């Protein structure tokens, strides 16, 4: 989320160009075209990977917070709705060790967080300094989502 301490801002021209390329690629496709993409990963440019997903939303208590070191996540909802939450890492305790192969580390729920409702054709960007949790139920009802997570390499 474009949120945090200015000293943690790490975007450079190459990263910003990758973000814009991904958003332009998504904007150039209809919802039907995006839904027709197979579930899984698709590389559209160097440092830009799309991961198409389909899943049911879940209760906040069962959601994991995560963060990454080497990439930015863009959570892009094709169809559906969910709450996404984020927070600065601060002193939140990890629940596992950083996994360099999967490029992920999980954390306990932070003491404070913000949240946004992600709906059709909207996105949220999470930087490496952002703890984030996705797939949250809306209005107490489980929903079914078609979403993709765009992985933007920092190097």
- The secondary structure element, H or E, covering residue 17 is helix 13-27
Q: Considering only CA atoms, which of 120, 128, 127 is closest in space to residue 148?
A: 120
**Residue 51 maps to a domain:** yes
| DSSP for 19-67, written as a single string | HHHHHHHHHTS-HHHHHHSPSEEEEEETTEEEEEEEEE-B-GGGPPEEE
Strand partners, 61: none
Q: Give the pLDDT of residue 134.
A: 95
Query: Which portions of the chain are predicted below pLDDT 70?
Result: 1-11
Q: What is the residue whose two structure tokens read 């190097």?
A: 155
> What is the number of domains present in the chain?
1
Q: What is the residue whose two structure tokens read 């991904």?
A: 22
**CATH number for 30:** 2.60.120.370
**Residue 88 maps to a domain:** yes
**Residue 137 maps to a domain:** yes
pLDDT digits (tens, 9 = 90+) for 61-94: 999 999 999 999 999 999 999 999 999 888 899 9
**Residue 1 maps to a domain:** no
**Residue 142 maps to a domain:** yes
**pTM, entire model:** 0.90
Give the C-alpha separation, 155 to 12, whole Å: 10
Q: Which domain holds residue 74?
A: 6-153
Q: Give the pLDDT of residue 4.
A: 47
């Amino acid at each position: 989320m474009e949120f945090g301490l200015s000293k943690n801002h790490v975007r450079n021209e190459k990263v910003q160009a990758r973000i814009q390329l991904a958003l332009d690629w998504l904007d150039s496709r209809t919802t039907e075209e995006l839904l027709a993409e197979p579930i899984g990963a698709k590389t559209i440019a160097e440092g830009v990977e799309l991961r198409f997903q389909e899943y049911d939303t879940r209760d906040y208590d069962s959601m994991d917070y995560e963060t990454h070191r080497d990439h930015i996540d863009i959570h892009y909802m094709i169809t559906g709705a969910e709450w996404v939450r984020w927070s600065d890492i601060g002193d939140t305790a990890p629940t596992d060790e950083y996994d360099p192969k999967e490029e992920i580390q999980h954390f306990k729920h932070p003491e404070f967080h913000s949240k946004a409702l992600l709906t059709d054709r909207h996105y949220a960007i999470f930087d490496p300094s952002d703890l984030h949790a996705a797939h949250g139920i809306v209005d107490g009802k489980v929903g079914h989502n078609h979403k993709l997570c765009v992985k933007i390499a920092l190097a």
